[in-house]
Each structure stands twice: as C-alpha cells, then as structure tokens.
C-alpha cells in the first residue's frame, strides 16, 4: 500500500500526528519548512528535528515530493515540465522567468472536463483531480523552486472543479510554515463556476482571474459550455458587488480571436459590463493549433482594445505569449499527451 504523503499537510495536521508521541508545534513547523521551503524529499534529511521524530515519520510517511519526468526549454527561457503520478496521471506545469518575476503556472487536474472549444487540454479529456500535495509539488520539485515569486493556477484543469484541493494548496503557498508567498502573488483562474467562485472569494485572499472569451452569452456558450449553467453576467455582478480588498486583484482574461471577439460591438459591451467595477482586463493572443480555422487578433488590434479600455477608465494590459514553441502557452497544455 502506498504510504501517506507529508506534502499537502498543514503544520496543524502534522502536529495532530506527532503530538501524541510527545513532539510539539515547533517540530511540526520544522517538518513543514523542510518540505515546503527546502523541498527536502528524504525524511531522513529533515532539518532541526530529533532523530526519533524522523524515525516516526519514516515509518508512516513518504515526503510525497516527486520530480518531473520530462522538461522542454523554449527559446524565450520558458520551461515546460511533465509530471506523472504513481497511478499514472499526467499533468504539465510551466516555469516562466521574466526579469525579477519568476512565475510557475501549475495544473489543478490531469486534463479537464469543462470542454472549452479553444483549449487543447479539453481535447485530452479528464483524467482526475490533483491533490493539494500534487499541486504544491509542481512548485517545489522543479530546479527553479527557490527562485519562484508568483504562482498561477492556470495550467491544466478548472480550479473550481477541484476547489477543496485548490484552497488547501493556496493556504500552503501563503502560510508562514509553508511557502510564505503573498496572496497577491497567487492567481487562480476559472471559466466561471459560480458556487466555486463564491466559496473561493469567502475563504481565500488570493487573486481571481475569470476567462471571458465573449461578453455576449450566446457567443460565449459556443466556446465555454460552463456559460450555459453559470452565465458570466451573473458572475460579473457578483464580482462587481464583492467588497474588493485593496490587496486582491480580480481580473478578466480575454483571449482575442480575429473577427470573432475583437469587433467594436465586443469592445463596447465589454466596457459596459465592467466599467467602474475595478476589474482589470488581461488581453491575450490566441494560439491556433492543427487545422484550426481561427487566428489571433493582430498586435495592432490588441493595442487598440487596450487603449480604448484604458481611456474608459478600465485597467488593461496585453499579456506576452511565452513558450509557444514548446506548446507551453495559454490553452496549449496537454498538446503532446495521449
């Protein structure tokens, strides 16, 4: 039988196990530090704890840290990693260096069941949720772990479809005994699952990014099936009325497709939907694959959109494509998986 993993446990959960054997919360924090801050994968190397505690842990746990099985380096410095769980589930994550900001984009599921038509991960199908430990492992097991400043949960999977594990992972990323990252440096992305968003906003302080695709429900339904059950207008209303903390960023990801969602009609509706709400817009180029008939909006059109949003008082930016040559860019994860 597979041993339980330490990765994915909180300091309190470690305490609950080691307390009855006479060890205290300081020991739990030392164990958590060794796992989360140092990425120590061998229990015998855990720092600042008695040998007897290591023996106790070794008899009952593995660290649960496992390295990627493959990696690919883009010519822009982006690195894509492939992970395989012990039961064979595959998932990818991406390390994106950018001056002083080093971001890891992690997966929350192996594949996805949301069926968005523009996304390669949807074509791979759904192969299971990732545990909180498997989500955190993507940050701490890579060679660049000590350089990571930001984490985005925007890889394979819909985070709100695996919310308990996502919330647990966010708490480990931000805890003092965990990775000690600021919630401002963590962004969870969603195509819009209303009950999940409500719970996420209530429980976590991390940022939220909503994939819009189109401000028109009929069009959005054709690309994002979640729109049928959870219309985005209701979600934007929820975000608009949410008491936004200065420390939390709510944003829209708007993937731009030529002549499909980049017209004046779309721009005008987008402005009226979120004007005055404080919600930011990230404009993203589209990455066509295979026999795709769609193409990305031109850089000029994206600049035009950004300019018009900004002069309407809406904060907007254009996100650079990273790792396109290794299928690591947005919407391309799982491109090589079977």
By CB under 6 A, name the binding residues for ligand SF4. 112, 114, 116, 119, 121-122, 156-158, 191
Cβ at position 335, least distance to ligand SF4 in Å: 12
Q: Specify whether 112 is catalytic.
A: no
Cβ at position 130, least distance to ligand SF4 in Å: 13
C-beta closer to ligand SF4: residue 35 or 191: 191
The answer to whether 6 and 35 are in contact (CB under 8 A) is yes
Q: What is the 3-state secondary structure (H, E, C) of 54-90?
A: HHHHHHHEECCCCCCCEEEECCCCCEEEEEECCCCCE
Q: Is the dihedral of CA 212, 164, 23, 140 positive or negative?
A: negative
Cβ at position 133, least distance to ligand SF4 in Å: 21
Q: Specify whether 330 is catalytic.
A: yes
C-beta closer to ligand SF4: residue 96 or 119: 119
Would you list the DSSP string of 193-220? -HHHHHHHHHH--SEEEEE-S-SSHHHH
C-beta closer to ligand SF4: residue 97 or 115: 115
Which residues are registered as beta bridge partners of 317? 282
C-beta closer to ligand SF4: residue 78 or 121: 121
Identify the residue whose tokens are 């994550």: 93
Query: Catalytic one among 70, 92, 112, 134?
Result: 92
Q: At CA 107, angle to CA 57 and CA 256, rounded to 5?
A: 165
3-class SS of residue 122: helix
Catalytic residue list: 92, 330
């Amino acid at each position: 039988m597979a041993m339980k993993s330490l990765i994915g446990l909180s300091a309190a959960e470690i305490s609950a196990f080691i307390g009855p054997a006479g060890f205290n919360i300081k020991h739990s924090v030392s164990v958590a530090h060794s796992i989360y801050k140092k990425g120590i994968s061998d229990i015998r190397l855990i720092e600042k704890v008695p040998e007897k505690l290591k023996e106790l842990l070794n008899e009952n746990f593995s660290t649960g840290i496992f390295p990627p099985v493959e990696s690919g380096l883009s010519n822009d410095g982006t690195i894509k990693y492939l992970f395989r769980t012990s039961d064979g589930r595959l998932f990818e994550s991406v390390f994106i260096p950018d001056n002083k900001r080093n971001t890891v984009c992690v997966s929350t599921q192996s594949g996805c069941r949301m069926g968005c038509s523009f996304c390669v991960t949807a074509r791979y199908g759904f192969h299971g949720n990732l545990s909180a430990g498997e989500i955190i492992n993507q940050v701490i097991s890579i060679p660049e772990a000590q350089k990571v400043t930001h984490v985005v949960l925007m890889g394979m999977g819909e985070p709100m479809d695996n919310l308990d594990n996502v919330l647990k992972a966010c708490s480990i990323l931000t805890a003092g005994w965990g990775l000690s990252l600021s919630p401002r440096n963590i962004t969870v992305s969603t195509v819009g699952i209303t009950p999940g968003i409500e719970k996420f906003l209530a429980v976590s302080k991390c940022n939220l990014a909503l994939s819009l695709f189109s401000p028109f429900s009929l069009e959005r339904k054709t690309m994002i099936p979640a729109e049928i059950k959870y219309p985005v207008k209701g979600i934007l209303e929820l975000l608009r009325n949410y008491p936004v903390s200065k420390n939390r960023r709510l944003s829209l990801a708007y993937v731009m497709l030529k002549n499909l969602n980049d017209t004046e009609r779309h721009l005008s509706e987008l402005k009226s939907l979120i004007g005055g709400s404080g919600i930011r817009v990230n404009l993203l180029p589209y990455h066509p694959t295979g026999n795709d008939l769609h193409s990305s909006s031109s850089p000029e059109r994206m600049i035009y959109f950004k300019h018009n949003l900004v002069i309407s008082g809406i904060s907007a930016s254009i996100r650079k494509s990273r790792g396109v040559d290794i299928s690591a860019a947005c919407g391309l994860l799982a491109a090589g998986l079977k």
